[in-house]
Amino acid sequence: MEGGGRESGTSLLFLTDEQLRKGIEAMFFAYRGFTADPDRILADMAYGRAHHRAIHFIKRSPGTTVNNLLAILGVTKQSLNRVLRALIEDGLVQSEVGTRDKRERHLYLTEAGETLEQQLSDAQRDRMRAAYRAAGPEAVSGFRQVLEAMMDDDMRRRYEALEKMKG
- Each of the 167 residues of the chain gets a pLDDT tens digit; together they read 444 445 555 555 678 899 999 999 999 999 999 999 999 999 999 999 999 999 999 999 999 999 999 988 989 999 999 999 999 999 999 999 877 877 889 999 999 999 999 999 999 999 999 999 999 999 999 999 999 999 999 888 888 887 777 65
pTM > 0.75: yes
Residues with Cβ within 8 Å of residue 128, at least 6 apart in sequence: 34
Please answer whether residues 128 and 63 qualify as being in contact, where contact means their C-beta atoms are separated by less than 8 angstroms. no
CATH class of the domain whose range is 16-135? mainly alpha
3-state DSSP helix/strand/coil % of the chain, to nearest 5: 70, 5, 20
User: What residue spans define the domains of the chain?
Assistant: 16-135
Q: CA dihedral in degrees (33, 164, 67, 80; nearest 10)? A: 0
- Helix and strand counts by DSSP (H, E) for the chain: 7, 3
